[in-house]
Structure 1
Amino acid sequence: MNLAFYKSAPVILTAVLLLAACGNKQTQEKSATAVESAASTDTTTTTSKQITFTTDQYRLAGIETGKVEMRNLSSIIKLNGVIDVEPKSTAIVSAPLGGYIRTAGLLPGQAVKKGQVLATIENPEFITMQQEYLESKGRLQFLEQEYNRQQKLREEDVNAAKTFQQVASDYKVIQARISGLEQQLALAGISKSALQAGKITRTANLYAPISGYIKNSNVTIGKYATPTDALFEIINKNDIHLALNAYEKDLPKLQIGQTVKFSLANENNYDRTAKVFLIGQTTGDDRVVPVHCHLTNGANSGLLPGMYIKAWIETGAEKQYAIPSEALVQLEGKDYLVFQTEKSSDRYIFQLEQVKRGAEQEGYTAVTFPEGMDIQKVDVVVKNAYAILSALKNMEESE
C-alpha cells in the first residue's frame, strides 16, 4: 500500500459514508441489494438518529466498541492556578540610596548565592557619608576621653556639674550620629571594616539577599537607579507550591490535607500530586478563593514558577456507570454516545443517544443513560465515534 493511498484515505472514507447516507444504489454484482437495503434503512431512521455501515465502512473507519463499566469515580472539584514560590523564596533587589550603575546585569536564569555581589552602584553621597563617619569616629574618641576625665573630676567635686553635663551630652550625640551613619553605610552596601582602615570609596555593592535564580534583571551600565527601581528579582525554585483558585461555592467541600492531582496545561495525565495546606478565608472580586498546596515527593520535576496548571480534588468516591471519555461526542452543545444496536456479517447499525455527563477522572467519565436502557446488553463505540457522527450529519444534510 503506497503513500498515495494513505493521503487519499480520508477522501475515500467520506465518499463511502456519503454513499451510505444518500443511498447510492450503484454497486457491483450481488452487493447492490445489500447497499440498497442499507440506504433505505438510513432514510427511514434519520429522525431516531440511526445509521448503517457495511463491513468495509466499519473497518475503514477504525471503529471499536466496548461495554459500560462500573467504576469507583470520585466527585471532584476542578481548579486551575500557577506554580508559585513561598514568600521567603522570592526577593527584589534595589539601590536603597540610589546611584549610577557601573557593572553589567546578570542574565535571567543565572544562579546566584546569598551574599553574592550582583551590581556596583556609584553615588557622590557615598563619599560624604564615609567622610562624616570617619570624622565622627575621630570626634568620638576625643569626647570619650573627655567624658571619662570630667566624670572623675565631678566625682571629686572639682568641676562644675554643668561642664560635665555638656560633655556627656556631646558624647551621646556623637554616638547616635555614628550609629545612624553605620546604618546608612549598611543600606548602601559599604563595608564598615574597610572604611575603618581609612579607605573611602565612591561605589557600593548590591548583594543577593537569598540564593536562587535571576528571574528579572533591569540593569544597564550608566543608568541612574532610584531607590524604587527593581534592579533584580531572585527566585528560589526549590521551595515551590501550587497556588490554585477555587470558586466560593466549593468552599464547604475543601479541607486541609486533601489530595490534589494536577498536570501542566499542555498535559493530559493528572499524575502529579500535592496536599492542601492553606485555604483562603476571603474572596476577591472574581469570587474565587486561593488554595495553596504543598507538592509531594517527586511532583516538582520539570516545574518552574509561573507555569499554568490544572487540577482536581477528590471529595468522595462511589460506584458509577462510566465509559472512556473519548467515547462522548457533542452535537449542538449536548453530550451523546453512539451505541451499536445490531451486528451481522454484512452490516453494523449504530444509534445516537443523548446522555448526561458526570464526574470525569483518569480518562473515564460517569454517564447517566436514558431511562429503560439495558446497559449490560449494549455496546458503546469507544473509538472513532466522531466518524459515525459525521456520517449522520452528512446523511441529514443530503436529505
Structure 2
Amino acid sequence: MNSVRISVINTMIKASVFVLLLSFASCSSSPSATITAENEPNENMITLTKEQFTTSEMKLGPAIDTLFDKLIQTTGYIEIPSQNSSQTGSIFGGKIAAIHVTLGQRVEKGQALVSVENTEFLMIQQDYLETSSRSTQLQQDYDRQKNLAVDNIASQKELQRAQSELTSSLVKLNALKQKLLLLQIDPSKLTTDLLSARISLKAPFSGKVSQIYVSLGQWITAENPAVEVINPDVLQANMRVFEKDITYLEKGQKVYFKMNDRPDVRFEGAISQISPQIDMEKRSSEVIATVKDSEQTLLRPGMFVNIDIVVGGTAVTCLPNEAITEADERYYVVYKQGENANELLFERLEVKPGRSMHGLTEIQFVTTPPANAIYIYNKVFQLIQSQE
C-alpha cells in the first residue's frame, strides 16, 4: 500500500506533461480521433487514438501471477556476537604506563593495546626463573639418587626425599608458568636479561578498538577492563518473536533488515539461533539472525532495525506499481476492452491493493475482469487525470 502511495506521489508531477502530450496528439489527429470518454455514459470508459497511445509511450501486459514472501514482522537491534567482542584487562592490576591505540583503530591479533606496570609482574618472573633453575638441580639430584638406589648405595628414604622435593618444585614451576601466560609473557623466551615490571595487554583477535576505558597513569584492578576490541566483520540481529509465530521459524530462513532512516535499503541475513524457551512475561522467544556480508553493510552495532522473516510463499495476482492509481480514495487499474482501426478502448476497474514487493503490488478485483485481460502497466495516474 505504501509503495502504491509513493508511486502516486512520484507520478503526480508528470501528470501535466502527460496531459500536454495527449492534447498535442489530439490536435494533430482528425476530429473523430479525439478522446470521447466525456461523452460515454459509463464514466469508467476511456478512449484513446492509437497515435495518442503511441505518443504517450504506454505499455500493456497481463496480470502477473507470482509468489509473494509470507512474512513475520518484528523489530530488533544489531549486535556483535559474544565471541567477537573482548574486554582486555590485567588480572593482577597495575598502573597504565602507555596507551598504544586510538578509538576505532584497526588492530591485528597479538598487537599491543596498553602497557601496565606493577612490581608484582617482576616478582612473578623472578620466581619463575629461580624455580626453573632449582627444578633443574632437583631433577639431577633425583636422577642421581635413583641410580644409587638401583646399586643399593643410597637408601630408599633419600630417593623418596629427592622425588618429593622435585615434585613440589615442578608444581610451583607450572603454577608460575600459568601466571606468566595470563600476563601474556612467553615462559620459553623469558631470560634474566628480559625481566621487566611492565607488560603489554594484547589484542586477542584482529578487529577494531571500540572502547578505551583507561587513561595514562591510572591504576586499574583485576576487575577493570582497559580496552574493548570487537570484530565488526561479523554482525547479528537480536530480535523477539511472539509465541504465536515461533513455530513457523527454522534455522536458515531468510531475513531482511531495514533501518528507520533508510527504508529504501534492505539488508539480508538468515536465522542462526532460536531460543527453546518462551519468556513468560513477554510471551516471546529470543531469535538471532546472522547478517550476510556484514563488512559491506551500513549496519552498525546498536542500531535499531525493522525485520521481515520469510517463512513461506503466498500465491498472488499483481501488477506493476505504476499500473495502480488512487482517485477519490479508491484504487484503480485500466485494462484494454477493445479497438478499431483508429482507436483503443479502455476501462478502469476498482481494485484493493495489498503488499508490494520487487516493484509489484498485490491486487484484488472489486469487479471480476474479463479472462486474459491486458492492462496498462504505466502512466495510469496521468491517464485518469487527463480524463477529469
TM-score, length basis structure 2? 0.65
Aligned-residue offset at 1:298: 8.2
1:231–1:288: structure 2 CA closer, same or farther, 3 Å change rule?
A: farther
Contact 1:261–1:270 (8 Å) recurs in 2: no
Q: Secondary structure at the match of 2:264?
A: coil
Pick closer, same or farther for the CA change 1:126–1:271 going to 2, 3 Å.
closer
Within 5 A, what are the aligned runs for 1:3-14? none
- Deviation, structure 1 residue 165: 0.5
> Deviations 1:359-393 (Å, cap 9, x if unpaired)?
454577657788x89999xxxxx98xxxxxxxxxx
Query: Which residue is 1:161 aligned to?
Result: 156
Matched, 1:94 2:89: yes
Distance of 2:265 and 2:194 partners within structure 1: 61
Does the 8 Å CA contact 2:331/2:353 hold for their aligned counterparts?
Answer: no
Which of 76, 82, 93 is residue 77 of structure 2 equivalent to?
Answer: 82
Give the secondary-structure state (helix, strand or coil) at the position aligned to 2:252: coil
User: In the TM superposition, what whole-angstrom CA distance separates every residue of 1:243-288 from its partner, at most 9, and x where no partner exists?
Assistant: 3332221112222332222222212225432222332222334333
Secondary structure class of the residue paired with 2:194: coil
Quote the offset at 1:184 in angstroms.
Answer: 0.7
Match in the other structure for 1:57: none
Deviation at 1:177, TM superposition (A): 0.5
Once the two structures are superposed, what CA deviation does each residue of 1:189-243 show, in whole Å capped at 9, x if it has no partner? 3342453244321111111110000111112111111112121111112222333
1:236 maps to what in 2? 231
Q: CA deviation at 1:71?
A: 6.5
Q: 1:312 aligns with which of 308, 312, 315?
A: 308
Which residue of structure 1 lines up, in the alignment, with residue 288 of structure 2?
292
Does residue 220 of structure 1 match 2:198? no
Aligned length in residues: 300
Distance in 1 between residues matched to 2:321 and 2:304, nearest whole Å: 26
Taking the aligned partners of 1:323 and 1:79, their CA distance within structure 2 comes to 27
| CA contact 1:94–1:230 (8 Å) conserved in 2 | yes
- Residue in 2 that maps onto 1:301: 297
Paired amino acid for 1:317: T
Q: Which amino acid aligns with 1:293?
A: A
Aligned to 2:194: 199
Partner of 1:278: 273
Cα gap change, 1:296 to 1:304, in 2 (>3 Å): same
Q: Structure 1's 192 and 369: CA in aligned 2 closer, same or farther, altered over 3 A?
A: same
SS at match of 1:173: helix
Return the match for 1:116 from 100, 107, 111.
111
Task: Output the CA distance in 2 between the equivalents of 1:298 and 1:181.
Answer: 42
Q: Which among 157, 179, 183 is matched to residue 178 of structure 2?
A: 183
CA–CA distance in structure 2, aligned partners of residues 264 and 301 of structure 1: 11
Deviates more, 1:138-147 or 1:69-78: 69-78
Deviations 1:152-172 (A, max 9, x none): 111111222111101110011
Question: Which among 109, 120, 127 is matched to residue 125 of structure 1?
Answer: 120
SS in 1 for 2:233: helix
Amino acid at match of 1:195: L
Map 1:236-255 → 2, pairs under 5 A: 236-255=231-250
Q: Which runs of 5+ in 1 are unaligned?
A: 1-68, 330-335, 341-352, 377-381, 384-399
Matched AA of 1:309 = V
1:88 CA displacement: 2.8
Separation in structure 2 between the aligned mates of residue 199 and residue 76 of structure 1, nearest angstrom? 63
Verify the 8 A CA contact 1:273 1:299 in the aligned structure 2: no
Deviating 4+ runs (over 6 angstroms):
367-370, 372-376
Q: Distance in 1 between matches of 2:138 and 2:364?
A: 91
| Counterpart Cα distance in 2 of 1:179 and 1:219 | 32
Tell me which amino acid in the other structure corresponds to 2:80: V
For the residue of structure 1 that corresponds to 2:126, the secondary structure is helix
Kindly state the Cα deviation for residue 173 of structure 1 after the two structures are TM-superposed: 0.5
TM-score if structure 1 supplies the norm length?
A: 0.63
Alignment partners' CA distance in 2, 1:359 and 1:146: 85
Superimposed CA distance per residue, residues 114-151 of structure 1 (whole angstroms, 9 cap, x where no aligned partner): 00111111112112212222221222222122111111
Q: Secondary structure at the match of 2:297?
A: coil
Contact 1:105 1:219 in 2 (8 A): no
Task: Note the residue ranges of structure 2 that are not aligned, 5 or more in a row.
Answer: 1-62, 334-349, 374-379, 382-388
Check the 8 A contact 2:115/2:201 in 1, yes or no.
yes
Task: Calculate percent identity across the aligned residue pairs.
Answer: 26
* Letter aligned with residue 144 of structure 1: Q
